[in-house]
Structure 1
């Protein structure tokens, strides 16, 4: 997705016909009207999408870590669905510049999805998503080969909105399980969870998810009743090796192998400006910490610090400089390995879907 981010007041969000803080899918015509309404406002265009934000942030963190310790950083690949329009070319170029290996080609005659991100003075963000041309999600030979040799496969919840998602995600997860890779799943947003709850539960009940990321509202939608972050982490953590539940300014809770870790928020000296991308950065921080062999408490601290790095300015993606500061703020990862050995997040046995 290409993000179009603008700072607006509450009245603009109300006129857009969407609840503040929510997400709504819009048509190309609605997108044109919104962009026309934003014409007098300054807005920023960037390569985005929740998965892209997470992968770029994870790549920056791993590169910063390996610059400190020497050696080459892990490679990060992305299976994306973009059109052959200007937005698609822009997104591909930005991802490659960030060090991503793109595992799919733009589809001829199609348009790329965009997200209009409206940020109000209270740092809240509202999303209006145009999904682009109807495209069927498929796995290329390059994608299958990459999944078969990866350590971590991240499945973005928003993919469930696409045609062919059930088959493609099932195939990707099956390949990852067969190769012993860790499977991480994000939930997207509460509305998406409500629409595709059965698909999320199918993966969870089959034991196909090792790490689950959700915020408190998404977890409530998945469990179909209001919950605290701690309750959600405990309940969902019984279905996977690790469940991380974020709760905005209240911090987060992580449940792993029967242990609950309450993670306080980490505040920088600058006041929050834009919370867009905080959850994506949190996900990247936790996965980086896992790959580095940190213990559970340190994984929580790293996740919170990574999330806080992106909320004190406009823009959803962690920068190279911010990643370097996060890595520098954490003690050397090698010092954690002995303490983390008893809490290793090993994938469960492979399951055939």
Structure 2
């Protein structure tokens, strides 16, 4: 097998995050799902945007955030996602390419506009996300370049994008292309509500041996397995995927690979400012280590270091030198 051109190619939502601090009372007044992610339509997105205080716009999207972290660590990355031919689409395209990530998906000329996620951040750093998927849910299978997918060591799929029909079909095709090329498939479950809607699909993919690396947090693990007890859930899933990575917020994370297990504590953080993207950046550190053949424990530590950096400031794209932080931590 030829050495891959890219360490990872990801398929995910092309979203611009619009973030603003807020008090708890505003969440209550707007009837928001505190700490969760809710899909909203155009009308609700406009209502929430009007209620926000001064906001900061930062390119986001779960898989794109992961690639931004990986690229900062020196990995070679490519992204597939759909933007519209509008201002936010231009912002997203510029930001991802400026991070050294290949992005060639053509912009969509017609409505709806580029996706945006309206994020309300309370004083404790918790983020409440309200996502208008816009153009991102119209990624067609025709947008895929099979040769590029086959030229990446790992195909990384974002669970959020499994919901709409077109990108779900695109991701199913990408899985087949990657597996035919002898590449690995990594999948992030993204959110419990996605599993509640599509858990049968995800469990079938695991049963069929089509997922090599699965990322979940403890809540997603419980939804996926029906097991309230964490270790019972770990046992059930780790028997079906070669590599399971499960994060537990402040309690750290575990990974199980072919029966071997490793655990790490969360890295210390002076102050949690915003938890947006913590799981995305954990995946960035872990996948970068995995692509380099690092041990399970070192992969987990790289993930924990990246997650700690991201929750120390607003936004889900790294601001500090991740490579320097990882090198300092691991030596």
How do 1:114-193 residues align onto structure 2 when only pairs under 5 Å count? 114-133=116-135, 135-140=137-142, 143-193=145-195
* Structure 2 SS opposite 1:198: helix
Give the superposition deviation at 1:44. Answer: 0.8
CA distance in 1 between partners of 2:80 and 2:209 (Å) = 23
Check the 8 A contact 1:212/1:242 in 2, yes or no: yes
Give the structure 2 partner of residue 251 of structure 1.
Answer: 252
Is 2:31 the counterpart of 1:31? no
Higher CA-based Rg: 1
- The alignment partner of 2:261 has SS state of strand
Equivalent position of 1:276 in the other structure: 276
Larger mean Cα displacement after TM superposition, 80-89 or 14-23? 14-23
CA shift for structure 1 position 290: 0.8
Contact 2:289–2:299 at 8 Å: present in 1 too?
A: yes
1:262-341 pair list within 5 angstroms: 262-268=263-269, 270-319=270-319, 321-331=321-331
Please state if 1:22 is matched with 2:36.
Answer: yes
Q: Which runs of 4+ in 1 moved over 6 A?
A: none
CA distance in 2, matches of 1:134, 1:321: 29
Unaligned runs of 5+ in 1: 63-73, 332-353
Residue 210 of structure 1 is matched in structure 2 by 212
The answer to whether the Cα contact below 8 Å between 1:117 and 1:125 also exists between their aligned partners in 2 is yes
Match of residue 54 from structure 1: 66
1:100 and 2:101 matched: yes
Distance 2:138 2:21 in 1: 33
Distance 1:150 1:82, change over 3 A: same
Shift of 1:329: 2.6
Give the structure with the larger strand fraction: 2
CA contact (8 A) 1:137 1:163 kept: no
CA distance in 2, matches of 1:204, 1:223: 12
On the 8 A contact 1:233/1:260 being kept in 2, the answer is no
* Separation in structure 2 between the aligned mates of residue 135 and residue 22 of structure 1, nearest angstrom: 20
Matched-pair contact (CA < 8 Å) for 1:210–1:240: yes
Residue number in structure 2 paired with 1:232: 233
Map of 1:335 onto structure 2: none
C-alpha displacement of 1:134: 7.7
